[in-house]
Amino acid sequence: MQGKLIIFSAPSGAGKTTIVKHLLKKFPQLSFSISATTREARGAEKNNEDYYFISKEDFLHKVAHQEFVEFEEVYNGTFYGTLRSEIERMWNEGRHVIFDIDVEGGLRLKRKYENDALAIFVQPPSLDVLKERLAGRGTDSEEKLQERYIKAEKELKYADKFDIILKNYDLEIACKEAEKLVGDFLASR
Ligand code: 5GP
């Protein structure tokens, strides 16, 4: 069976991971698409839960074997990708799939799956707030932070290409709005 896809995209630091985790608790029929990445695990992140942390060699091997539905070099030298096997496994279990993915990857999935996909852009109050949140995490070096800021600035311009822009000015309100959007989408068709 083909299930649905719920795509959350935004620059890192916009709060999409927190919103996605909230939705996973609220909707038992949803499963998180665990992406593969070549970056190192951060803080409390767990392999096979937050990401499949794999080597660049392994990643490129999977690219060559067309194992990704989309992948990207999100940051210089650091790859992220959605595995076809991940989506199919969940659909075969009768579940819908939720994604926490960068803006270009999100739009690529939307183009591929069209009406089976709901693409939501999480909008932070401003670039300055985003910068504060990223710096406050304290998990990235100054150089990595700069790279994230530059990417964030670019990504904010893609908002209106998404089905919906979800403002995250207050996390509790944003989580409630996300619940409504996802509930309606899952109930449709
Ligand atoms: P982070 O390093 O902060 O976990 O993720 C960096 C960015 O890569 C975030 O915007 C995150 O959503 C995105 N990302 C995570 N997994 C994937 C994926 O499978 N494909 C793409 N295109 N981006 C991803």
| Mean pLDDT on 13-33 | 94
Q: Work out the pLDDT band at 14, boundaries 50, 70, 90.
A: confident
Is the residue at 128 inside a domain? yes
For residue 86, pLDDT beyond 80: yes
Is the residue at 120 inside a domain? yes
What percent of the chain shows pLDDT beyond 70?
99
Q: What is the pLDDT of residue 119?
A: 98
Is the residue at 41 inside a domain? yes
Which residue spans within 43-141 are E strands per DSSP?
A: 51-53, 68-75, 78-83, 96-101, 117-123
Hey, what are 53's tokens?
Answer: 């942390």
Whole-number Å distance, alpha carbon 29 to ligand 1 midpoint, is 23
Is the residue at 188 inside a domain? no
Is the residue at 189 inside a domain? no
Q: Work out the pLDDT band at 81, boundaries 50, 70, 90.
A: very high
> Any idea what the CATH number is for the domain that residue 30 is in?
3.40.50.300
Whole-number Å distance, alpha carbon 72 to ligand 1 midpoint, is 9
- Model confidence pLDDT, tens digit, residues 60-74: 999 999 999 999 999
Total domain count for the chain? 1
| Domain span at 164 | 5-183
* Ligand 1 atom 4, closest CA: 12
Is the residue at 22 inside a domain? yes
- Model confidence pLDDT, tens digit, residues 153-182: 999 999 999 999 999 999 999 999 999 999
Element spanning 90, H or E: helix 84-92
- Model confidence pLDDT, tens digit, residues 121-145: 999 998 898 888 888 877 778 888 8
Whole-number Å distance, alpha carbon 170 to ligand 1 midpoint, is 23
* Ligand 1 atom 6, closest CA: 12
* Ligand 1 atom 17, closest CA: 101
Q: CA-to-CA distance for 170 and 153, rounded, in angstroms?
A: 20
* Residues 6+ away with beta carbon under 8 Å from 133: 13, 14, 15, 124
Q: What is the pLDDT of residue 133?
A: 86
Please tell me the pTM assigned to this model.
0.92
